[in-house]
Structure 1
Amino acid sequence: MTAAQPARPVIVLSRRLPPATEAELTGQYTVITNTDDTPLPAAELVSRCDRNRAVALVVTPTDRLSAETISTLPDSLRLIATFSVGYDHIDIAAAKARGLTVTNTPGVLTDATADIALLLILGAARRASEGEREIRSASWTGWRPTHMMGTHLGGRRLGILGMGRIGQAVAVRARAFGMEIHYHNRSRLPPDQEQGAVFHPTADSLLTVSDVLSLHCPATAETTGFLDRDRIERLPPGAIVVNTARGAVVNDADLITALRSGRLAAAGLDVFAGEPDLHPDYRGLSNTFLLPHLGSATVETRVAMGACVIDSIQSDLSGRSPTNAL
């Protein structure tokens, strides 16, 4: 005999969400939370959905939903909502084959992530990590004319790989620092969105003019390991690399070699392959400005992301197609 569906729809959360989001969900649904807030094995997520006859599973980029995992999800499940704009951690084709709706949280984290990209550009260019370490270690000996000279951004060429919402928001901010904007995208933007930016039909063409390269492309089979030794060699000597996209688009060993040798001046990184277990050599480099995946980490943005998740659940359970369905 098939188990009866609970009176209130059950939502399983893989991680803790902002309090306002959890409170609103709890007011409408039976919510199974991850009280420890540590990443759960895929088998445990499946088990929680199965035991509780869940209709929706809310995941984050720390959860890997492979085709095999998706094939074992219970028939009660209707929706997978990821608390992120990226969705490379979910096998979308497998989910659709199971008849599952998958949603993300686009748009609402554009400004917060663009702000972090500019923070990384400034931090890397002006050697902020080195300076802070001098202050904290009490090793600063005072001002001197040649002390810790960095790179002035005015007049520098910013290359944006991936001119979507976030890339365009970075361009707006960078123009305020007097930077010249270049970009590569799968298709050229209309003039009102380009705002005078120079389009490059190939990524290799963009690299040759990028005094600062800011990565904003998704992690796909084509972009995984994109920034390798050969492509680094196409950048101008002393270029700066910034990544707020996905760690997988960078070949860590090749980037570290270029930073160590001085081929690149610096790197500002907010995302890493295998995070939180990033390549240990990054920590020992003085010319890296490193952040722990803070792109969307403002109260306002995370609450807005939660609202996207709630809306997708409400829409799906009421028979409407969520506006942010993939």
Structure 2
Amino acid sequence: MSKPQVFVTRKLTNEVIAMLETVADVKQWEEDTPVPREKLLEEIEHADAVLTMLTERVDEELLARAKKLRVVANMAVGYDNIDVPACKRRGIAVTNTPDVLTEATADLAFALLLATGRRVTEANRFLLAGEWTSWSPYLMAGQSVYGATLGIIGMGRIGEAVARRAAGFNMRILYHNRNRKEEAEAKTGARLVGLEELLQEADYVVLLTPLTAETKHLMGAYEFSLMKKSAVFVNVSRGETVDEAALHHALTTGQIWAAGLDVFAQEPVPLDHPLLALKNVVALPHIGSATIQTRNEMASLAAANIVAVLSGKEPLTAL
């Protein structure tokens, strides 16, 4: 009896492939670039399982070609690249990789907060360009972080981890969420408030919501108009949760002070994107969970979900 077939859409470690080979024959895209759509459409016809990244769209077109597919294991905490209802209608399990990336993503969110507030990358470019000629009282002066007010929009696992870090900086923590998080409140002193109150009071606003129909362009012209002129906006959720034209307007007209962005509506972001030209923007290439240890854990968890399903067991982290 032939083994099930697994297709992996990006080159992963030998250890992860070996895990999958305990239950299946494995093919993987050997390049560290997104698998071409045509190749994915071809491979899905024979696959019992597919290990995907955020760069792959698992949609009706793809699923219509999937004759044997039993599980889609997404190596990400998000899953906006997957048509989950369409998978479920076909009895295909969908899994993601929560928890294992929480701390790394929270680290990156706080790194962006610090780098943006204290103008770290701007000051680095200033020095390397040979513009530092003398000490000056307000040279590259930024915004204080210690003791400032932090507003977290989306108090999930990552939001709670960011709040724990903020508590170490003696920050006043406000959060906006669908549900109250009493344990996080007890640990960090965070307070649940309405979105408008959060935007009006926060010195730093960190956006951590998943991308849904309700959260698309959650941050738009009105929301930015509520923020302090000295406020910093940080996005480590998904690019489309923000109206980028409205953010650009807010930054160039002085409605807000600066922005730190790890995500964009179009990724990779075009080099001529207007936000990249602004000195008061710190931009990163979607590296929220990018530590070696975390990416290894994410890949292992995605593989473990596939092994479970192909072995007739329940997946570890089903949606």
TM-score (norm 2): 0.95
Select which of 53, 62, 67 maps to 1:69.
62
Segments of structure 1 that go 5 or more residues without pairing to the other structure are none
| Structure 1 residue 71 displacement after superposition | 2.5
The reply to whether residue 22 of structure 1 matches residue 17 of structure 2 is yes
CA separation in 1, counterparts of 2:118 and 2:283?
13
CA separation in 1, counterparts of 2:307 and 2:18?
15
Give matches, 1:1-326, under 5 Å. Answer: 7-26=2-21, 28-50=23-45, 53-74=46-67, 76-191=68-183, 193-195=185-187, 196-200=189-193, 202-278=194-270, 280-326=273-319
Whether the aligned pair in 2 keeps the contact of 1:43 and 1:69 (CA below 8 Å) is no
| Structure 1 residue 172 displacement after superposition | 0.5
Give the share of equivalent positions with the same residue, in percent.
Answer: 40
Give the 3-state SS of the residue equivalent to 2:252 in structure 1. Answer: helix
Whether the aligned pair in 2 keeps the contact of 1:42 and 1:69 (CA below 8 Å) is no
CA separation in 2, counterparts of 1:165 and 1:82?
18
| Structure 1 residue 26 displacement after superposition | 4.3
CA separation in 2, counterparts of 1:25 and 1:137?
49
Segments of structure 2 that go 5 or more residues without pairing to the other structure are none
| Structure 1 residue 19 displacement after superposition | 4.3
Whether the aligned pair in 2 keeps the contact of 1:71 and 1:98 (CA below 8 Å) is no
Residues 219 and 318 of structure 1: CA distance in aligned 2, closer, same or farther (over 3 Å): same
CA separation in 2, counterparts of 1:286 and 1:30?
50
TM-score (norm 1): 0.93
Give the 3-state SS of the residue equivalent to 1:283 in structure 2. Answer: helix
Give the 3-state SS of the residue equivalent to 1:183 in structure 2. Answer: strand
Residue correspondences, number:
317
Range with greater deviation from structure 2 (259-268 or 119-128): 259-268
Give the 3-state SS of the residue equivalent to 2:159 in structure 1. Answer: helix
Q: Deviations over 1:123-175 (max 9, x none)?
A: 00000111110122222213221211000112211000010100000001011
Range with greater deviation from structure 2 (307-316 or 135-144): 135-144
Residues 59 and 144 of structure 1: CA distance in aligned 2, closer, same or farther (over 3 Å): same
Whether the aligned pair in 1 keeps the contact of 2:44 and 2:62 (CA below 8 Å) is no
Give the 3-state SS of the residue equivalent to 2:152 in structure 1. Answer: strand
